[in-house]
Amino acid sequence: MGDGAFAAFQIWTHLFLGWPLYLMGFASTGRLGNDGKPLEGDIADHFRPTSRMFPGKLSGKIILSTATVLASLAGLGYLMYEYGAVPVICWYWGPYFFTNAWLVLYTWLQHTDPSIPHYGEGEWTWVKGALSTIDRPYGIFDFFHHTIGSTHVVHHLFHEMPWYNAGIATKAVKEYLEPKGLYNYDPTFWVLAMWRIARTCHYVDGTEGIQYFHSLEDVPLTKDRKKD
């Protein structure tokens, strides 16, 4: 698979498989359970009342949530039986996967960039973690989504702030943080930013200290090593 094809595969897996895999506990659930202890192979899904994603006091709500999900799937199955697969795919699954793709895209671009550091246990602080995000312009979608992508840094710092104050707060935070080199902003058009991230943000070297994303494109191929 070439570099461009792998980037396209990255985009496809993130946007169309990322959300279901996250809910099932197979992607992006972190390394720690709700108790702060390492998961050590445990699956932190969103459906089991015993999942370490949630504290025990929420088990009743998790059971209710999972029951309604199963009921919804049963209802969709009945509709497919009654009216056929095509109408259900067009009217439900199509919009469902589009919404999920857009949600994951925003989250991916808000928190992923070659310039964003990843902190190990000995380096992480709340402020460092809060500043590990990046603002981007999203064009007309800023209007539809209340600037959630272009004011995300301030959202991390003041998560209870209403969206209509985020623009003013971002200007103030930028004035304070930018001279210190702590405000992250990328003016790249979001489609190009997505492609660049898909090509450059693949892995970090470890979980200790301060880490930055590396690209598999920079890893020498076996044939290249043989030439050396």
pLDDT, one tens digit per residue, over 41-72 is 888 999 999 999 999 899 999 999 999 999 99
The rounded distance, in Å, linking the Cα atoms of 49 and 142 is: 37
Start-to-end CA span in the chain (Å)? 22
pLDDT for the residue numbered 224: 57
What is each CA distance from 31 to 54, 66, 214, in whole angstroms?
14, 23, 20
Q: For residue range 82-137, what is the model confidence (pLDDT) as tens digits?
A: 999 999 999 999 999 999 999 899 999 999 999 999 998 889 899 999 999 999 99
More confident residue, 187 or 225: 187
What pTM was computed for the model?
0.82
The predicted-structure confidence for 142-183, as pLDDT tens digits, reads as follows: 998 899 899 999 999 999 999 999 999 999 999 999 999 999
Buried b / exposed e along 33-44 (16+ C-beta atoms within 10 A)? beeeeeeeeeeb
pLDDT of res. 40:
84
Return the residue matching tokens 């991390």: 156
Backbone φ and ψ of 185, nearest 5°: -145, 135
Distance (Å, rounded) from C-alpha 64 to C-alpha 49?
10
pLDDT above 60 (res 222): no
- The b-or-e profile of 148-163 (16+ CB within 10 A means b, else e) is bbbbbbbbbbeeeeee
Cα–Cα separations (whole angstroms), residue 99 to 77, 117, 197: 21, 28, 21
